[in-house]
Chains A and B, each alone.
Chain A
Amino acid sequence: MIGSNLLRAASIATIASLAFGTTAANAQSLVINDEETMITQAPAAAHLENLDEVFSGWLFRTSETQTLQMDDFDNPGMIFVDQAIDQWDVVEGAAGKSCASCHEGGPAEFAGLRTVLPRWDEEAGGIQSMEDYINKCRTERMEADAWKWSASTMTAMTALIGLESRGMPVDVAIDGPASGAWELGKEIYYQRVGQLDMACANCHEDNYDTMIRADHLSQGQTNGFPAYRLKNAKLNSIHGRFKGCMKNIRATPFAEGSDEFRALELYVASRGNGLSVEGTSVRN
């Protein structure tokens, strides 16, 4: 209560000038390593009927958590990026290849890729996420085992590849052949589920920027993923986060890597079109 009153006082004091005010110390602009400025606030995409502006989840975190993401030496997610750099050269599978065998330009070949994923893939005949492309390389080109959707090797590799798009705005396509999946994702986003009978929209559209117990609700954007969470001290995949939110409302989650979650991933990503890919974010 006392905390809550303080929060309220702080937000009222700052409401005119700032969109957010959990504490007066909350930073409003995300500059990483003192040189790269992220777009954390952008006009909402035309398809978003109920929002005027979109915001990165970073804005809603405490100043302590925010600070961890402002310098790669402090960002605990970077340890996993280092692991993926090592993994890049590891030969695995019957074909005797590593990532480096085919991608001679290194992870830099993938600059910009994170901004357009997930996307419609003609060959696969469906929506493909970054995890799908990584596993396709593993199973078809390396003839190695697929990684589990949220395995630490997988989240680390998505972090390494995502980092090459840091600062670039999310720009997923929702029209053409992607439109069917996008509509399905939208339906899931607004569908109330579970014993608590809530939809993603109830928390992340209708009630963002309010406190739900100790959590400051964000818009549930995915531009920061994979996200290092202080709560579980590892990188978390987008589908893993969706699963967690569904379980919290006592709903049976869709499976990680299911068509439903790919569709939801596309829809949620499109809600964040215009926000910077943050590389590896830090969240609570």
Chain B
Amino acid sequence: MKRTAFLIIGATAAFAAMATAGTIEPDNVEFDDYGAVAASLTGVAGDAASGRKLFANRKLGNCLACHQNDDYLEQSFHGEVGPPLNGVADRWSESELRGIVSNSKVTFEGTIMPSFYRTSGFYRNMEKFEGKPILSAQDVEDVIAYLLTLTE
């Protein structure tokens, strides 16, 4: 009995350590004066193919809801709330994109764009989303890797 409990705790701890190794928590992300974030959130290179899927996923990135993107011709109904993201990698560096996706409010004061990697400062957040960012640290890296492919 005692032994089993010990084993379970041990395994959980090891797993947690693995999952969070090198991951920067939302509250610890460091933005420069212009809103850019230099350090990778996970230390693991982003996967552009996964980022492309996240871009249109309505429950995750849902970026397409607000941004037109010519790389997504297979889906109709591109939003117009934000600027089109064609050629976005020609305009912004990797660090700047990491800042914009993590917490766009630092780069664009008062923007409607959600902060995808933030967990504090919300009002009347739904309980099930409390303490959780919209995208995980690796999701953010994947989205950035994808955005970096959008050149003109």
| A interface with B by C-beta (< 8 Å) | 1-4, 7-8, 191-198, 202-203, 206-207, 210-214, 217, 246-247, 250-252
Q: How far is the CB of B140 from chain A (nearest CB, A)?
A: 15
Give B55-87 interface residues, CB cut-off 8 Å to A.
Answer: 58, 62, 64-66, 68-70, 72-73, 75-81
B91 near A: Cβ within 8 Å? no
How does the 8 Å CB contact mask read for B116-139 relative to A, with 1 for contact and 0 for none?
Answer: 000000111111010010100000
Point out the residue from B68, B70, B114 that lies within 8 Å of A198, measured CB to CB.
B114
A contact residues around B7 at 8 Å (CB)? none
Given A195-B114, A198-B114, A207-B112, is A2 in contact with B76 using a C-beta cutoff of 8 Å?
yes
Contact yes or no, B76 A251, CB < 8 A: no
Q: Measured between alpha carbons, how far is A214 from B64 in the docked complex, in Å? A: 10
Partner-A contacts on B (CB < 8 A): 58, 62, 64-66, 68-70, 72-73, 75-81, 112, 114-115, 122-127, 129, 132, 134
**Contact present for B124 and A193 (CB under 8 Å):** yes
For A191, what are the chain B residues with a Cβ–Cβ distance below 8 Å? Answer: 123
Contact B79 A213 (CB under 8 A): yes
**Minimum Cβ distance to chain A for residue B136 (Å):** 14
The reply to whether A250 and B64 form a contact with Cβ atoms under 8 Å apart is: no
- Tell me if B66 and A1 are in contact (CB < 8 A): no
Contacts of A197 in B (CB 8 A): 114-115, 122
| Complex Cα gap A8–B80 (Å) | 9
Q: Which residue of B lies closest to A188 (CB)?
A: B124
Cβ-defined partner of A195 (8 Å) among B68, B72, B73, B134? B134
Determine the chain B residues whose CB is within 8 A of the CB of A202 once the complex forms. 112
Q: Report B89 CB to chain A, min CB distance, Å.
A: 18
CA distance A211 to B77 in the complex (A): 8
Asked if residues A210 and B125 are in contact (CB atoms below 8 Å), the reply is no
- CA A190 to CA B80, docked complex, whole Å: 22
Q: Which residue of A lies closest to B133 (CB)?
A: A195
Extra pairs beyond A1-B76, A214-B76, A214-B77 (20, CB < 8 Å): A1-B70, A2-B76, A4-B78, A8-B80, A193-B123, A194-B122, A194-B125, A194-B126, A195-B126, A196-B134, A197-B122, A198-B112, A202-B112, A211-B80, A212-B79, A212-B80, A213-B79, A250-B125, A250-B126, A251-B125
Is A252 within 8 A of B126, CB to CB? Answer: yes
Complex Cα distance, B68 from A2, in Å, reads: 10
> Which A residues touch B66, using CB under 8 A?
212
Q: Which residues of B contact A212 (CB under 8 A)?
A: 65-66, 79-81
> B76: which of A3, A8, A206 is its contact (CB, 8 Å)?
A3
Bound-complex Cα distance A17 to B11 (A): 68
- B123: chain A residues at CB < 8 Å are 191-194, 251
Taken together as a complex, chains A and B put the C-alpha atoms of A214 and B66 apart, in Å, by 10
Q: Are B124 and A252 in contact, with the CB atoms below 8 A?
A: yes
**Ranked 5 nearest A-B pairs via Cβ:** A214-B77, A213-B65, A210-B80, A195-B129, A4-B78
Can you identify 7 A-B contacts, CB atoms within 8 angstroms?
A1-B72, A8-B80, A194-B122, A195-B114, A195-B122, A250-B126, A252-B126
How far apart are B127's CB and chain A's nearest CB, in angstroms?
7
What's the Cα separation between A252 and B77 when bound, in Å? 28
> Are A211 and B126 in contact, with the CB atoms below 8 A?
no
Chain A residue with Cβ nearest B103: A197
- What is the distance, in angstroms, from A216's C-beta to the closest C-beta of chain B? 9
A249 nearest CB neighbor, chain B only: B114
**Whole-angstrom distance between the Cβ of B66 and the nearest chain A Cβ:** 6
Task: Verify B114–A196 contact, CB threshold 8 A.
Answer: yes
| Distance, CA A192 to CA B79, complexed state (A) | 21
Interface contact A4-B77, CB-CB below 8 Å: yes
Cα-based distance from A100 to B69 in the complex (angstroms): 58
